[in-house]
Structure 1
Amino acid sequence: MTLTLAEALAGRPNDHRALRTEFETRTGLPWHAPTPAALAAGRALSVVVPARNTAHSLRPVLDALASQDTQGSVEIIVVDDASTDATAAIAEAHPAVDTLVRLREPAGAASARNAGTALAHADTVVYLDADMVIPPHVLADLAARFRPDTILVGFRHNVPYTPGIDGSAQLPDRQTDLTADHRVTWRSDGGKQLYTGVVLDGPTTGSPLDDTDDFQALGHGAIYLDWDLPRTVVTALLAVPRTKVVDVGGFDPAFGRIGWGMEDTHLGAVLIAAGCLVVPLRQCVGFHLDPPDADAQWRTKLAAWRDTLSYYQMLLDAPAPSGRADLFDSRTKQLLTDAEVITA
């Protein structure tokens, strides 16, 4: 009997206590502690950075990647989604970039990540947004803890755009704050929630990360306020098993054609259905650098979010995907055939 995606999610727990205990026993390091570089030795990461018109943020993002304190091997793949600003030029000139892919026509973040995943050499792929500046320990944190059945989740701290001399966003003169992420501190004015349909009596503040025991209580399709487990999977900073991503067909490119959002939630759902645990790393918090026109961009993005949500909800009633490596290969082959690929 073939299960729908929703049925498969209902059958999957998210108890990651044994994984964390094994790591802490073996290394003597707490799960949520920054990781010494040596613990990542012998472990490889491919970092895929999709980028479209992110000239305001890409340079500090790449500078932070170049400054990572890790003894593991790292390749950095930037996929320029047909930008009309200096994004591609910045990536091509930066010494941290191993591969630059320039798509000739805008394809959306889902397709851009698929293209980068197809070129990745490591078994562990890190998806990092082109506006996420991460602390020096993050890649070692991910490399040292990763297993083939995990989705490792980092967090983001949004900061307003402040231009530097070259136009790149300036970083705040303070530490990142975990509670700034909406998966840690979440607020609603009440009423019917758009994502789950849950009705809240009035203004509500929740703590999804704390109140679900690091998302463990969201296993088996459970809901907390307006949250379920797939929604906690955010590709701003995320480590995933490349083999499983390819097997489920990668990101569904239709999300990019419909509008903004939900392609990461869908990837989370299909990977959970395929047996992955969602495990947060509280120490992995990056600065998310807002663009100069942040308000206008958010209005445009949110205008399409209902459509992408409807498409995602339709996919929940479809069979849980597996055995789709051929589909992934055909999708990315066409993308890369039409693209320019520049290697260092």
Structure 2
Amino acid sequence: MTHTLSEALAARPNDHRALRAEFERAASLSWHAPTPAALAAGHALSVVVPARNTTHSLRPVLDAIAAQDTHGSVEVIVVDDASTDATADIAAAHPVVDTLIRLREPGGAATARNAGTALASADTIVYLDADMVIAPHILADMAARSRPEAVLVGFRHNIPYTPSLDGSAQVPATRPDLAADHRVTWRSNGGTQLYTGVVLDGPTTGRPLDETDDFQKLGHGATYLDWDLPRTVVTALLAVPREKVIDAGGFDPTFGRIGWGMEDTHLGAALIASGCLVVPLRQCVGFHLDPPDADAQWQTKLAGWPDTLAYYRMLLEGPAPTGHAHAFHAHTERLLADSEVITR
């Protein structure tokens, strides 16, 4: 019997206590503690960075990757989504970049991540946005905890653009604040919420991470205010099993053609339906560097979100995506054949 994606989500728990306990016993380290470099030894990561017109942020992002304190193998793949600024030049010149893929036509973040995923060599992929600066322990954190059934969720702290001498965004000397992420502290003015349709009587402050026991209570399709489990899967900073992503067909590129957002939520739903657990790492918080025109970009993104949300809702009523590896490879082979691929 074929189940819809929505029905598959309702059948999946998110009890990750055993997974965390196994790691803590073996490593003698708390799940949420920064990880010594040696614990990542023997664990390989492919870091996929989709980038479009990110001159303001890409250099500090790549510098932060180069400064990672890990004994694990790290491969860095930057996918330039047909940028019209110096994004590709910055990536090509940076010594930490192993592979640069230059798409000839802009396809959106979903398409860019698919291209990077196709060329990734590690079993675990870290999706990192080109405006996310991470602390030196984060790749060791994700490498040491990577599992074939685990989706490891990091967090972001948005900061406004302040230019340095070369025009790159300045990175604060302080540590990013976990509570700054919307999945940790969520505020609403009330009324009908667009994502779930829940109606709130008035201004509301919720704490999704804490009040769902690190997202465990969001299993079986449950919701908390305007949040469900797939929505917690945000590709700004995320580690996933490559094989599971490919079996699901990767990111659906239609999202990038019709608007902004939701391609990561859909991938999260597909991975949960396949049996993955969504496990947060509270120590993994990066600075999200806003662009100079952040307000204008945000308004443009919000204008397209209803369309991508409607498409996502339609996909929820279709079959859970599985067994799509052949289609993924066919799609990415065509994509890469029409792209410039530079490797070191």
Task: Bin the TM-score by the shorter chain.
Answer: over 0.9
Aligned to 2:43: 43
Q: How far apart are residue 172 of structure 1 and its match? A: 1.4
Q: Which amino acid aligns with 1:175?
A: R
Q: Which amino acid aligns with 1:116?
A: G
Report Cα offsets for 1:298-331 as digits up to 9, x if no partner.
0000000000000000000000011000110111
Aligned to 1:320: 320
Aligned to 1:176: 176
Aligned to 2:190: 190
Normalised TM-score (structure 1): 1.00
Aligned to 2:150: 150
Report Cα offsets for 1:253-308 as digits up to 9, x if no partner.
00000111000000000000000000000000000000000000000000000000
The CA distance in 1 between the partners of 2:304 and 2:107, in whole Å, is 16
Aligned to 1:300: 300
Gaps (5+ residues) in structure 1?
none
- Pairwise mapping of residues 54-73 of structure 1 onto structure 2 (< 5 A)? 54-73=54-73
- Pairwise mapping of residues 276-291 of structure 1 onto structure 2 (< 5 A)? 276-291=276-291
The CA distance in 1 between the partners of 2:232 and 2:42, in whole Å, is 29
Q: Which amino acid aligns with 2:199?
A: V
Aligned to 1:118: 118
SS of alignment partner, residue 173 of structure 1: coil
Q: Which amino acid aligns with 1:139?
A: L
SS of alignment partner, residue 48 of structure 1: strand
Normalised TM-score (structure 2): 1.00
Q: How far apart are residue 173 of structure 1 and its match? A: 2.8
Aligned to 1:218: 218
SS of alignment partner, residue 92 of structure 1: helix
Q: Which amino acid aligns with 2:261?
A: G
Aligned to 1:311: 311
Q: Which amino acid aligns with 2:142?
A: L
Q: How far apart are residue 101 of structure 1 and its match? A: 0.1
SS of alignment partner, residue 286 of structure 1: strand
Aligned to 1:334: 334
CA RMSD of aligned residues (A): 0.4
Gaps (5+ residues) in structure 2?
none
Identity %: 80
Report Cα offsets for 1:168-220 as digits up to 9, x if no partner.
00011311100000000000000000000000000000000000000000000
Q: Which amino acid aligns with 2:122?
A: A
Report Cα offsets for 1:30-53 as digits up to 9, x if no partner.
000000000000110000000000
